[in-house]
A = this chain, B = another copy of it.
Amino acid sequence: MTEQKVISFETIRVACKNCTLSTLCLPMGLTTEDVERLDDIVRRSKPLHRGDYLFRSGETFRSLYVVKTGSVKTYAPSEEGGEQVLGFHLPGEIIGLDAIETEVHACSARVLETSAICELPFSRLEQLTATIPSLQHQMYRLLSKEIGHDTEMLLLLGKKNAEERLAAFLISMSRRLHQRGLSPTDFHLSMSRHEIGNYLGLAVETVSRLFTRFHEEGLLKVDRKHVQLLDPAGIEAILGQSLADDHRARSS
């Protein structure tokens, strides 16, 4: 009990200015003084545990959330059980941007593992951005980045085959973890095969078979949730490969 309290305390108390994520998150490009003003509106909850909700679809939108440690998935529940996983969010990533317009959350967000989350009440953030131009600019950039990311996913779901989708997923995880100072070749997947499949528009069985195939081809090693990329270049080569094929086929 005591130990858990200590951990919580450590996790919670990091101010924005001391946070290692400040280059990825909102404080980027802000002066020390402005970071302190931002810091004033951030609410830091105690750590959440696997399955806990940040918000649920249908709830009124009040805040944006930033992952500080751990990971979160967002998904759009469709009446009666079905759902589409929209994203897996790593430390420094902002969640809830899609709800600004309607002021109602259209998707749900729950943590995949014990995670620390910062909450940013949106109305206060909005007031702040009106007085700090660089913060406003950063908000535009973050919103725009989200659109760019969604665009990539549209391309993935619209044009890529199963193999390319999983390769894209692995490369994306690898890069994002690397940005956060973790190993780009050796990591833990906090989501299930089912969730990966759902996210990539594939059946669980297909994901499982692909992991096996990639393993057989010497591209990676898998032990349950632990992944080791043995040949990252080989995996990257899978992306765009079929487009080259496509072109070859058409021009012949």
Contact = CB atoms under 8 A, between A and B. Distances in A.
B78 A151 contact: no
Interface stretch (A30-38, A43-51, A135-143, A213-221): A135-143
Interface residues of A, number: 50
This chain: how many copies in the complex?
2
Interface stretch (A93-101, A174-182, A224-232): A93-101
Interface stretch (A14-22, A65-73, A154-162, A184-192): A154-162
Contacts of A250: 81
Interface in A95-137: 97-102, 106-107, 126, 129-130, 133, 136-137
Interface stretch (A4-12, A204-212, A240-248): A240-248
A82 B239 CA distance: 14
Contact of A157 (B133, B201, B244): B201
Contact of A151 (B76, B145, B247): B76
Interface of A: 76, 78-82, 84, 86, 97-102, 106-107, 126, 129-130, 133, 136-137, 139-148, 150-151, 153-155, 157-159, 198-201, 240, 243-244, 246-247, 250
Closest 3 CB pairs of A and B: A100-B144, A150-B150, A157-B157
